[in-house]
Amino acid sequence: EHAEATAPSTAQVLVASNRGPITYTLGEDGTLDAKRGGGGLVSGLSAVDDKLWVCAALGDGDREAVRRGVGEPGVRMLDIDAEVHADAYNGIANSVLWFVHHLLYQTPVEPVFDAEFRRQWASYETYNRAFAQALAEEAGEGAAVLVQDYHLALVPGMLRELRPDLRIGHFSHTPWAPVDYFRLLPDDIGEQLLRGILGADRAAFLTRRWADAFIGCCTEILGGTGRTRIGVHGLGADADFLRRRSREADVDERMAALREQVGENRKTIVRVDRTELSKNIVRGLHAYRALLEAHPEWRERVVHVAFAYPSRQDLAVYRDYTAAVQSLATEINGAYGTESWTPVVLHVKDDFARSLAAYRLADVALVNPIRDGMNLVAKEVPVVSDHGCALVLSREAGAYEELGEDAIVVNPYDVTGTAEALHEALSMGAEERTGRTKRLAEAATALPPQRWFLDQLEALRQE
Residue type, 292: L
DSSP state of 28: T
Residues 220 and 231: their CA atoms lie apart, in Å, by 19
**Residue 223 beta carbon to ligand G6P: minimum distance, rounded to whole angstroms:** 28
**Residue 19 beta carbon to ligand G6P: minimum distance, rounded to whole angstroms:** 4
Under rule CB under 6 A, residue 312 binds ligand G6P: yes
Number of residues that bind ligand G6P (CB under 6 A): 6
**Residue 193 beta carbon to ligand G6P: minimum distance, rounded to whole angstroms:** 15
Of 87 and 149, CB closest to ligand G6P: 149
**Residue 406 beta carbon to ligand G6P: minimum distance, rounded to whole angstroms:** 24
Phi, psi of 307 (to 5 degrees): -105, 120
**Residue 399 beta carbon to ligand G6P: minimum distance, rounded to whole angstroms:** 13
> According to CB under 6 A, which one of 174, 355, 385, 418 is a site residue for ligand G6P?
174
- Contact between 100 and 112 under an 8 Å Cβ cutoff? The reply is no
Segment 7 to 26, residues that bind ligand G6P, using CB under 6 A: 19
Of 98 and 298, CB closest to ligand G6P: 98
Half-sphere exposure of 16 (CA within 13 A, CB side): 29
Of 178 and 310, CB closest to ligand G6P: 310
Of 117 and 318, CB closest to ligand G6P: 318
> According to CB under 6 A, which one of 9, 311, 342, 450 is a site residue for ligand G6P?
311
Of 98 and 182, CB closest to ligand G6P: 98
Of 236 and 388, CB closest to ligand G6P: 236
CA distances from 194 to 96, 162, 176, 340, 350 (A): 15, 19, 11, 56, 35
**Residue 314 beta carbon to ligand G6P: minimum distance, rounded to whole angstroms:** 10
**Residue 152 beta carbon to ligand G6P: minimum distance, rounded to whole angstroms:** 9
Residues 358 and 384: their CA atoms lie apart, in Å, by 10
Can you say how many angstroms the Cα of residue 52 is from the centroid of all Cα atoms in its chain?
Answer: 22
Of 174 and 355, CB closest to ligand G6P: 174
Buried b (16+ CB within 10 A) or exposed e, 7-44: eebebbbbbbbbbbbbbbebeeeeeeeeeeeeebbbbb
Residues 454 and 169: their CA atoms lie apart, in Å, by 13
Is residue 115 classed as helix, strand or coil in its secondary structure?
helix
Of 136 and 315, CB closest to ligand G6P: 315
Under rule CB under 6 A, residue 85 binds ligand G6P: no
What DSSP element (H or E) covers 306? strand 302-309
CA distances from 382 to 57, 305, 358, 376, 385 (A): 35, 17, 12, 11, 5
**Residue 332 beta carbon to ligand G6P: minimum distance, rounded to whole angstroms:** 27
Handedness of CA 214, 216, 222, 227 (dihedral sign): positive
Under rule CB under 6 A, residue 283 binds ligand G6P: no
> According to CB under 6 A, which one of 51, 76, 101, 173 is a site residue for ligand G6P?
173
Residues 166 and 201: their CA atoms lie apart, in Å, by 9
Of 89 and 121, CB closest to ligand G6P: 89
**Residue 311 beta carbon to ligand G6P: minimum distance, rounded to whole angstroms:** 6
Of 312 and 371, CB closest to ligand G6P: 312
Segment 97 to 156, residues that bind ligand G6P, using CB under 6 A: 149
Can you say how many angstroms the Cα of residue 363 is from the centroid of all Cα atoms in its chain?
Answer: 24
DSSP state of 351: -
**Residue 37 beta carbon to ligand G6P: minimum distance, rounded to whole angstroms:** 9
Per the rule left: phi > 0, alpha: psi between -120 and 50, beta: everything else, 59 is beta
Residue nearest to ligand G6P (CB): 173
Residue numbers of the site for ligand G6P (CB under 6 A)?
Answer: 19, 149, 173-174, 311-312
